[in-house]
Amino acid sequence: MSDRFVVVGAGTMGLGIAYVAAGSGHAVELVEVDRARGATAVDRLAELWDKAVRRGKLGAEQAATNRERVTLRSALAEVAPEPAVVVEAVPERPDLKRAVLREAEALRPALLGSNTSSIPIAELADGLARPERFLGLHFFNPVWAMALLEVVVGPATADETTAAAVALAGRLGKDPVVVRDMPGFATSRLGVTLGLEAIRMVADGVAAPADIDKAMVLGYRHPVGPLELTDLVGLDVRLDIARTLQAAYGDRFAPPPLLVEMVAAGKLGKKSGQGFYRWEGGVRS
Ligand code: NAD
């Protein structure tokens, strides 16, 4: 079987997936429609490998080998048929993802995955000729640092496909969890629950955001508190997920009014400079 690993979309996640796949010995084809973004991604990959060399984590020769394993493509039409894996990491828009997946499926990959963080796999599988080979491969940001791979099994996914995804996780140095295709999978459903309750606690005046976060960091050993994490993810992103989960599970996921107000006021977290904290130059102040 070919070891060719195709990643579609060279944004935040596609770049990270390409980095990890090349580092684990795969020949990677990174497909990006936006030429400027493609070029930036290739530069960024080189920077990441240079940094790993400087920090003594990788030999210069290995870094050069990894770099040579990645080939930039500007369309799926440029990819040869029958790659081992295709993972799509294009923006979170169902129609776009479905179109990309249909095109990718025509290459007859052994495994076809989506890095969606919230769209049901069943919805993305609609229109695929071989949905049994398709599932969710939910990587976390930054991909090289985060050990988890959430493998999301759709209603049509074959057992062999799930087994292949679990084996792939091992080859990529990731630790998988296998979850059923339910809104929010395992990670978003649980993570958002904590985030929403923390926001209600701010509104109730239980404590200042920094103290609510500190309580979870020191009291429960969370690496980062739920409010700072909401700032990092983006309040708008969390609001969208809360609404999706509310539609699926009812009002226990109703977005707190404070979250709605903050998003309306443009307080989106780190990316806008203000959320539950102020951010300057990407650093919490
Ligand atoms: P992004 O916007 O940074 O990157 C998406 C890239 O896809 C862009 O460079 C865009 O030009 C490219 N693209 C669009 N259409 C394309 C096409 N037809 N063919 C090839 N490339 C195309 O997005 P991202 O943050 O990397 O997110 C990608 C996916 O990963 C989304 O589904 C998102 O929900 C999911 N995700 C994101 C994160 C995160 O922290 N950013 C974490 C987990 C999962």
| Domains of the chain by residue range | 4-180, 187-271
d(CA 195, CA 32): 33
**Long-range contacts of the stretch 165-168 (C-beta < 8 A, 24+):** 165/111, 165/113, 165/135, 165/137, 168/85, 168/111, 168/137
pLDDT 10s digits, 101-121 = 999 999 999 999 999 988 899
What does the pLDDT profile of the chain (285 residues) look like in tens digits? 458 999 999 998 999 999 999 999 999 999 999 999 999 999 999 999 999 999 999 999 999 999 999 999 999 999 999 999 999 999 888 899 999 999 999 999 999 999 998 889 999 999 999 999 999 999 998 999 999 999 999 999 999 999 999 999 999 999 999 999 998 999 999 999 999 999 999 999 999 999 999 999 999 999 999 999 999 989 998 998 899 899 999 999 999 999 999 999 999 999 899 999 999 988 998
Mutate to test the pocket of ligand 1, among 15, 32, 90, 138 (most ligand atoms within 8 A of CB): 90
Quote the ligand 1 centre to 69 CA distance (angstroms): 21
The pairing of beta strand 279-280 with beta strand 27-31: unpaired
For tokens 């580092």, the residue is 23
Written as six digits, the tokens of 60 are: 């210069």
- Do 151 and 177 touch, CB atoms closer than 8 A? yes
* pLDDT value of residue 205: 98
At 68 the three-state DSSP class reads: helix
CATH superfamily of the domain spanning 4-180: NAD(P)-binding Rossmann-like Domain (3.40.50.720)
Total-model pTM: 0.90
Question: What is the phi/psi pair of residue 221, to 5°?
Answer: 60, 30
Ligand 1 site, residue 92, Cβ cutoff 6 A: yes
Q: Do residues 105 and 112 lie in contact, with contact meaning Cβ atoms separated by under 8 Å?
A: yes
8 lines ligand 1 (CB under 6 A): yes
CA-only gyration radius of the chain, Å: 20
Q: At the fourth CATH level, which superfamily is domain 187-271?
A: N-(1-d-carboxylethyl)-l-norvaline Dehydrogenase; domain 2 (1.10.1040.10)
34 lines ligand 1 (CB under 6 A): yes
Q: For residue 228, give Cα distances in angstroms to 143, 209, 259.
A: 20, 8, 14
CA 15 to ligand 1: nearest atom: 26
